[in-house]
Structure 1
Amino acid sequence: MARIQVLVAATSPDIEAEGIAAAVENCVDMALVAGRAVPIADIEALLAAIPRDPPRVLVLVGPDHETEFAERRLTGRVGLVVIRVGTPFGNLVRTAFNDIGLQNLLDQIRVLAEPHGVAPADVAPLGEDATMPADGPLLRAGIAWLHATLRHAASNVGAAHGDLPGLTVAPARVVEQLDDATSPPDDALTEANTALDKALAAAHARDEPLAAVVSAMELTDLELRVLLLALAPELDPRYQRCIGVLLDDLGRRVGTLGLCAGLLGDPVDVRFQLEATGNLARWRVFDMPGALLPPADEPLRLDPSLVAWILGDDDALLRDARIRRLFRLAPWPGAALIDSETLRAHAAAVVRQLATAAQSQWLLLAGDDGAGWQALLELGAQAQQSELLRLEGTRIAALDANDLEDTGIRIGRAALLADRPLVVDLTHVDADSDDTLRRALAAIGRTGAHAGVIHADASRLARLLGAMPFDRLPAPPLSAATHVDALREAAHTAGLTLSEAQAAHATRRFALSIAGIDEAMRLASSTATGTPEQRLDHFLLACKQVASGGISRLVERIEPVFSLDDVILPKDRKDQLDEIVDNVLLSDRVLTDWSFGDQLPYGRGVTALFHGPSGTGKTMAALAVARKLGIQILRIDLSRVVSKYIGDTEKNIDRVFEDAQRSGSALLIDEADALLGKRSEVKDAHDRYANIEVAYLLQRMEAYEGLAILTTNLRQNLDAAFLRRLRFIIDFPRPDAEARDRIWRSCLPAKARGALDDAAFRLLGRRIDLTGGHIRQITLRAAFIAAAADKKIDLSHIARATNAEFAKLGMPPVQLDTDVRKVA
C-alpha cells in the first residue's frame, strides 16, 4: 500500500504546525511533502507536483478565518482530504472532535485518506522477516486465527452512507447493521479456526508458555480465543488500529469483553459460557481487581506479567509487583556444607516428591531444624537442576486481609506456570498471624500448586492447612553427625583443620544451625590470617558471635572472667563443680553412645542449684563453670521477665530458654526464689496465675537441654517439686578462717600489696569474719585509699576500708593491730 502524502501548511510560522509535521515524518505509512510545514501560499504549487494515485491529505493549521478561506479555494480537488486544525493545536478539528491530540490526528489522517474505511491491508499478515514472540505452534496458530478474525471483522466495516469509521456513522448505516447483524465467515477464517483447534489438541504444556497457560488454567476453546483477542494489542500496532475501528472510536486501542463476545458468537451466550467456567476471572487473567468478568464496555487488558510471560519473559510472573516482595530471591545458605553423595540423593528425592506428589498437595517439613530443611531443599534443587520458589511467611503475615485471595492465586499461578517447586517458610512466624496464613495458604491451595511448608510445629501446620491433603516427612532433616561434618567443612573453607572431636565439641558448645555455620564460615574467612591457633580462635569467635546474635533484652550477656581456681570452697563442693563440667562435656557419650538418653524423655540438660549466704561465691562459681566449658552466661533479668500481664511471664521465660538453647549459653537465674517460690493455696486470681508461672518454669527447665544454674540465699523458700528436678544442689557455706585467708590473698593482687606478709593475711582471716563478696568490696575500697595516698596497700588502708564496710552492715568496728609482729 502506497504511503499517504501529507502536506502540512500554516497561515504563519507556528510551533504546532512544526510539531504535526515532525510527527507525520516519523510515521512509516506517511510521507511529508516538502519535508516541513509550509506557508499557505505554497499549497497550489506543491499539490500540483504530487501524483493523484496515492492518498493525499492537506492539514491546515491556523485561525479559522484564515484556514477557511484556503479551504474554499481547494474545494473540488479530486482525491484530496482537507483537515483544518485551529490554534492553539488540539482545540478544534472540522470532524467535530475536541481535544483530539496529536496521535488521534494521525489516526484521522489514515482513516480519511482511505476511501473505503479500513481495508484488508490494514491488518496484513506479519511479514516473513517479522519476529514472533515466544515462537510456538499454538501461539502461531493463535496469531493466524486472530489475524483472520480481525481481518474478517474489519472487512465488514464499510464507508457507505457517508461513514467515517471510528469517527462518524450515518443513520442509514446503523439501520443496515440492525437489519443484518451477522455475516458468514470467509474461507480464511474457517481455515484459521480449524488450524487453531488442531494446534490446541496437539499442544503440550512444556512446549511453550501459551500451552502451559491453557493446561494449568484448564481453559476451554472459547476462553483461549478470548485470551487471544485480549492479547492482540500486545502483538501488533495494526491490531490496535483495527480494534479502534471495530469499536467505532479510534481513540481506543484495547478491546472490550463486548467486542470479543460479538466476534465469537452471540454476546449473551458467550458471556454466559465464560461465567459458567470462570477460569479467566478465577486465574486473574485480566488486569482488574476481583474474580468477576468485567463489564461489556470496559477495556479488556490482560495482566501485564502474564502477557510478558506468554511472550517469552521467563521471570515476568515473579516480577509481578503484587507478589515479588513476598519471595526470597537468594538461595538459602548451607547446601555446600552438606554436599555428600548420600545427602544429595536424599535431597533430590525430597524435591521430586515436592514437585510430583500424586495425592498430597502439601509436604510438611516440620521440626526444630528449619535451616536444615532449607539447605537440604537447595541441595535437592541443584541435583534436579531446578530452582526453588522461596516464599517468606513473615512477609505473607504482613499482607492486608483484602489482598490475601488475589495474592495467593498469583503465587500459585506463578508456581504452576514456571514449573518450579514452591516452599513456604513459616519458621519465624508467630501464632498471632495464623488467620492470615490460613487464608493465604488456602488461596494457594485452590490453584492446585504443590508446595512444601517449613515450620517447627507439625500440629500447627496441620491446623493451618485445614482439609487440604498433605504428607509429612520425618524430622530432623540433618543428623548431629551431619552438623559436625558441616562445621569441619566450614573450618576447612575458612583455612584451618578441625578434628572430629574439636568439631563435635564446638557443635555442642554453640548449637549452630547449618545457616549459622555458613555465616560463621564467611565471617571467619574475612579475617583468616595469622597462625593456625589464631585462625582457630577467629573461627570459634565467629561461631560464638553468630550463636549470640538476636539474643533478647530479657537477659544480660556475661563473659566469664573467673576460673575454677579462683573459687574458694571446701574440697567436696569444689569437686561437684568439676562434676558439673564433666556432665556437660560427656553428655553425648553417656546419653547417646551408652543409650542412657532412652531412659530420659526429658531432663537431658544439666541443672544445678547454688545456695548459701550472700557473698559466698555462688555467681563466681557459675561464671567459672561457664569459662571451663568455654561458653558465655545469660543471666535472667527478673525485672524484664516478670510481667503484670497474664501470660506474658510465660512467654518471656520461653524466649529466654530459646535464646540460651540457640546460642549454646549457660543460663543463670540469680535469686531464683523470686521465680520459684513455693506454690500457695489458691485464694484469688493472683495466686492462681502465680502458681501457673512456677509450674511453667518447672516444665520449661525439664525440656531444656543445656546448662542452667540457679542461685539463692534462701533454699527453704524454693518449691519442693523444683528441688526434685535438680541434678546438683551445692551448699556454699560461710568461709572459715583458712578460707578467708585464701580469699584475702586472691583479692589483693601482688603488685598492689605493700607490707603484707603471711602473718598479715592470717590476721585478716581470723579477725574479719565476712564472706568473700564483702572482702572483695573491702579490698577495692582499700586500693583507692592507698592510691589517694600514693602508697601501696597495707593494713592501715585495709583497716579503714573494713570499718567502713562494717558500718555499712550495721556492725561495730573492728580493731586491727597494724604491728603484725605482735600477732604473728
Structure 2
Amino acid sequence: MMLTNSLLEPDAADSHGSHLIDAIAHIRYLLQVHAALNPHPSTPAIRHPPLATLCRLFHLSPFERDLLLLCAGMELEADFAPLCAAAQGNPQRSYPTFSLALAALPNPNWSAIAPNAPLRHWRLIDIGEGNALTHSPLRIDEQILHYLMGNDHLNEQLVGMSAVPSDPLSLVPSHLQVVEQMMQSWQIAASEAASLPLLQLCGHDLASQQAIAQATCAQLNWVPHTIAIELLPTDLNSLALIKRLWEREHRLNGAALLLEWEERSQDEKQQGAIAHWIDSIRVPVILLSQNRRRQKQRPTLTFDVASPTSNEQRILWQTALSAIRETIPTGIAPTLNDHVEGLVSHFNFTPPAIHAASLKLKSQMSNHSTPAIAAQLWNICRVQARPRLDEMAQRMDSSVEWQDLVLPEQERQVLRDVAIQLKQRSQVYEQWGFGGKSKRGLGISALFAGGSGTGKTLAAEVLAQEIQLDLYRIDLSAVVSKYIGETEKNLGRVFDAAEVGGVILLFDEADALFGKRSEVKDSHDRYANMEVSYLLQRMEAYRGLAILTTNLKGAIDQAFLRRIRFIVQFPFPDAAQRAEIWRRVFPAQTPTEGLDIAKLAKLSVAGGNIRNIALNAAFLAAAVGQSVKMEHILQATRSEYIKLEKPLTDAEVKGWV
C-alpha cells in the first residue's frame, strides 16, 4: 500500500476536460468505423493524466480503458447515443453495451466484464437491467466521470456517513510524540510491503484523539474522514459495498478513516460484523475509542492518549491569558498568571477546552479588575467542565458556609484539612515532587460517618462552596447492578466523566456498596468484594475529592477504611450544639417572635430534623399571617416526630405554650 497519492490540482480541471474530449474522439472514430460510417480522422495517442492515473491505480488494460471512455462519451457527447444505436444496428440500443465494446474496440477481452475484473470490482462502471449481460446498458460511475473531468468529489454513498474534520488546534508536545510513533509504524509497515496495521487511540479525550489522528494523516498526505461506527450498515452486502468504495477512495484521493467507536449497546452480531469489516478493509484506519478493542486478524497498535500534562496545560493557559491581556487597555491589564496554578490543579482541560474557555471569557468580560476576571474565568471553567452524569448523579447547588455547619472543633478541623489539601495539591504533588514516582494514592478520599441528619451532606456542600467546585451526589441505586461487571463499568463512567472538572463526588449512603468483607462462599461474594476494591482504586487515583457517607461506620471492613485518607465522625448533637443549630436555622429575613432557644434545644433531634421543623413552622406561620412562634414550632415538631416514629415527651416541650 502506497503512502502517497497524486492528487489533481483544482486549476487543472479545464485542461483535463479538454484532454478527455480528445480521448473520447478516438472512441467516436472506432464506433464510426464499426458502423461503416464516414469516420472523422483518428486522434493522436491518448494523453490524459487522470485517465493514465486511473489505469495505473486500478490496472486497466487498453480494452478496459477504451470501454470506460465509451461510457464517458455517452455522458459527455450528444452524438454518442445515435452512434451507439447505428453501431449496434438497433435503434433501441442507443447506449453502450458490452457486445458493442467487444465488436468495436480493439483488443477485446471477455474477462473484462467479470465481477472480479477491475471495472466491476472497483465500481468504475454500473450495469443496468437487461435480458442478457452483453446487451445490458453500461454506465460510468458518476464520481469516476467527475474524476476524469478534473472535478473530484467524494462518492455520494459515502458522504452521508463521513465528515472531513475541521482544522485542529496545535498539538502539545506529548501528543506530537504519539503522532511521530504512529507515522513511523505505518512507514515501517509500508517499507516492508506489509499490510498497514490498525492504529488505535484510547482515552476519554476525543478532541485530542481526533487532532492526533488528523496530524498523522497530514504527515502522510492522506485525507482523513471521520465515521461514527453506528452510522455503518450492519448487513454484510452493504458493508461489502461501502468497503469497496472506501478502498477506491483511498486509491484515488488518499482517503484514511478515523472510526469513532463509542461504548453503545451494540449486540454481538453487529460488533462482529463491524470488526470483520475493519479487519478486511485495505484502507489506513485509526480507531478512536475509550477502551481497547481487539481485532482477530488485522495487526493492531494501541496508543493511550492522556490529557495534556500539567505543565503543558499551564503553558496553554498562560498563552491564552496573555492574549486576553492584549485586549485590555494598557495600565489596567490584570495579572492573571497567578491564577493559572489553580486552574491547572482543578480542571483537566484539553487544548480545545482551554481555547473555548478563553474565547467565552473575552466575549463576556466587562470588569477589567483582576479578581473579577479571575472569578469569571473560574465560573466559566466550572460550567464547561460539568460532567454528563444526569443518569447517575444530581448536581447540588448550595450557598452554605462554615458558620452554617455545627460540629465539634476536632471534626471541623479535619474538614478544614480536606479543603487545604484540595487547594494545595498542585504544589505538593508537582512542585514538591510527591506525585512524581507513583500516581497511586494521590486522590483525596473521605468517609463521613454518622446518623441521619447529623450534617454529612451539609459538610460536603460547605467544602464545595469553599473550593468553588461543583458537588454531585451519586445515586448508588443506579450504579450498583446485579449483573457481574456492570457495577464497575458504571463506577468507571462516573469517575471518567468527573475527571475533567475535578468535581466533588458524594456517594451518599454508601452502605449499599460497603459492608464487612464477606467470607467468599460463592462467586457473588467474590464479585461484591471486587466492586468495593474497584471503587477504592478509582478514589485513590481520582484527582478530585470523593466522599462516602454511611450511617454505620462499624459495618465497614477495616481493610477498606485504611485506604481512605480522611474519616470524619458526625456525632449526634448535644444540647449546646442543638441550641447553636436553632440560632442559625432561621434566615435573617424570617420574622420570629418569642422563640426560646434553651427550650428548643431540649428536642432530642439531629440538625437535619431541626431544619425540617423550622421550615415547616415557617409555612404554618405564613399561612396565618404571623411571625414564627413557639406554637408553630410545636405543631411542626409533632409532625416530624410522627415521621420519625418517635414519641414526643413532656420533658422536651414542657413550658412551650
TM-score for both structures, normalised by structure 2 = 0.82
Which residue of 434, 437, 445 corresponds with 2:274? 437
Name 2:103's counterpart in structure 1.
262
The letter of the residue matching 1:375 is: A
Does 1:230 find its partner at 2:71?
yes
Does 1:150 find its partner at 2:35?
no
Name 2:209's counterpart in structure 1.
373
Contact 2:444-2:565 at 8 Å conserved across structures: yes
Q: 1:750 to 1:400 in 2, by over 3 A?
A: same
Which residue of 214, 231, 242 corresponds with 2:55? 214
Provide the C-alpha distance between the structure 2 equivalents of 1:452 and 1:597, rounded to a whole number of angstroms.
Answer: 33
Does 1:450 find its partner at 2:278?
no
SS of 1:301's equivalent in the other structure is strand
Contact 2:345-2:426 at 8 Å conserved across structures: no
SS of 2:35's equivalent in the other structure is helix
Q: Deviations 1:548-593 (Å, cap 9, x if unpaired)?
A: 2633312111123222332222222111112212222333333333
Which residue of 523, 530, 535 corresponds with 1:697? 535
User: 1:538 Cα shift?
Assistant: 4.7
Q: 1:216 to 1:602 in 2, by over 3 A?
A: farther
Provide the C-alpha distance between the structure 2 equivalents of 1:646 and 1:346, rounded to a whole number of angstroms.
Answer: 38
Q: Deviations 1:101-156 (Å, cap 9, x if unpaired)?
A: xxxxxxxxxxxxxxxxxxxxxxxxxxxxxx9955279747743542332232232x
User: 1:658 Cα shift?
Assistant: 2.4
SS of 1:452's equivalent in the other structure is strand
SS of 1:296's equivalent in the other structure is helix
Q: 1:718 to 1:422 in 2, by over 3 A?
A: same
Q: 1:412 to 1:543 in 2, by over 3 A?
A: farther
Q: Deviations 1:396-433 (Å, cap 9, x if unpaired)?
A: 44554431121122123223322355433335667755
Name 1:252's counterpart in structure 2.
93
Q: 1:619 to 1:387 in 2, by over 3 A?
A: same
User: 1:240 Cα shift?
Assistant: 2.6
User: 1:372 Cα shift?
Assistant: 1.5
The letter of the residue matching 1:480 is: S
Does 1:306 find its partner at 2:144?
yes
Contact 2:365-2:373 at 8 Å conserved across structures: yes
Q: Deviations 1:16-36 (Å, cap 9, x if unpaired)?
A: xxxxxxxxxxxxxxxxxxxxx
User: 1:530 Cα shift?
Assistant: 4.9
Name 1:278's counterpart in structure 2.
117
Name 1:23's counterpart in structure 2.
none
Consecutive unaligned residues of structure 1, counting only runs of 5 or more, are: 1-130, 159-185, 820-824
Contact 2:171-2:212 at 8 Å conserved across structures: no
User: 1:732 Cα shift?
Assistant: 1.0
Contact 1:150-1:239 at 8 Å conserved across structures: no
Q: How does 1:723-762 map to 2 (within 5 A)?
A: 723-752=561-590, 754-755=592-593, 760-762=596-598
Name 2:6's counterpart in structure 1.
none
Provide the C-alpha distance between the structure 2 equivalents of 1:616 and 1:477, rounded to a whole number of angstroms.
Answer: 39
Q: 1:585 to 1:379 in 2, by over 3 A?
A: farther
Consecutive unaligned residues of structure 2, counting only runs of 5 or more, are: 1-11, 329-333
Name 1:66's counterpart in structure 2.
none
Q: Deviations 1:308-332 (Å, cap 9, x if unpaired)?
A: 1221222x2x2x2311012224516
Q: 1:428 to 1:407 in 2, by over 3 A?
A: same
The letter of the residue matching 2:79 is: R
Name 1:417's counterpart in structure 2.
252
Q: 1:353 to 1:737 in 2, by over 3 A?
A: same
User: 1:664 Cα shift?
Assistant: 3.0
The letter of the residue matching 2:208 is: G
Greater relative contact order (Cα < 8 A, sep 6+): 2
Q: 1:706 to 1:260 in 2, by over 3 A?
A: farther
Contact 1:397-1:436 at 8 Å conserved across structures: no
User: 1:608 Cα shift?
Assistant: 0.8
TM-score for both structures, normalised by structure 1 = 0.67
Q: Which protein shows a greater Rg?
A: 1
Contact 1:484-1:500 at 8 Å conserved across structures: no
Q: Deviations 1:230-283 (Å, cap 9, x if unpaired)?
A: 32212312223211222333333431223223334575xx12366497222222
User: 1:522 Cα shift?
Assistant: 5.1
**Residue range with higher mean Cα deviation, 665-674 or 384-393:** 384-393
Contact 2:479-2:490 at 8 Å conserved across structures: yes
SS of 1:619's equivalent in the other structure is helix
SS of 2:518's equivalent in the other structure is coil
Provide the C-alpha distance between the structure 2 equivalents of 1:735 and 1:138, rounded to a whole number of angstroms.
Answer: 93
Q: 1:373 to 1:689 in 2, by over 3 A?
A: closer
Does 1:480 find its partner at 2:337?
no
User: 1:288 Cα shift?
Assistant: 5.6
Q: 1:697 to 1:132 in 2, by over 3 A?
A: closer
Q: 1:580 to 1:419 in 2, by over 3 A?
A: same
Provide the C-alpha distance between the structure 2 equivalents of 1:137 and 1:397, rounded to a whole number of angstroms.
Answer: 38
Name 2:339's counterpart in structure 1.
502
The letter of the residue matching 1:454 is: L
The number of residue pairs the alignment matches comes to 625
Q: Deviations 1:735-780 (Å, cap 9, x if unpaired)?
A: 22332222111112344354568xx434443x23322112212222
Q: 1:188 to 1:471 in 2, by over 3 A?
A: farther
Contact 2:223-2:254 at 8 Å conserved across structures: no
Contact 1:389-1:423 at 8 Å conserved across structures: yes
The letter of the residue matching 1:450 is: P
User: 1:628 Cα shift?
Assistant: 1.6
Q: 1:550 to 1:297 in 2, by over 3 A?
A: farther
Q: How does 1:559-578 map to 2 (within 5 A)?
A: 559-578=397-416
Could you tell me the percent identity over the aligned residues? 30
Q: How does 1:97-496 map to 2 (within 5 A)?
A: 135=16, 139=20, 142-155=23-36, 192=44, 195-196=45-46, 199=47, 208-264=49-105, 270-272=109-111, 275=114, 278-287=117-126, 295-314=133-152, 316=153, 318=154, 320-329=155-164, 331=166, 335=169, 338=170, 358-359=190-191, 360-376=196-212, 388-397=223-232, 399-419=234-254, 422-426=257-261, 432=267, 434-445=271-282, 449-457=283-291, 459-460=292-293, 463-464=294-295, 466-469=296-299, 475-476=305-306, 478-489=308-319
The letter of the residue matching 2:451 is: P
The letter of the residue matching 1:734 is: F
User: 1:722 Cα shift?
Assistant: 2.5
Q: 1:818 to 1:366 in 2, by over 3 A?
A: closer
Q: 1:660 to 1:301 in 2, by over 3 A?
A: same
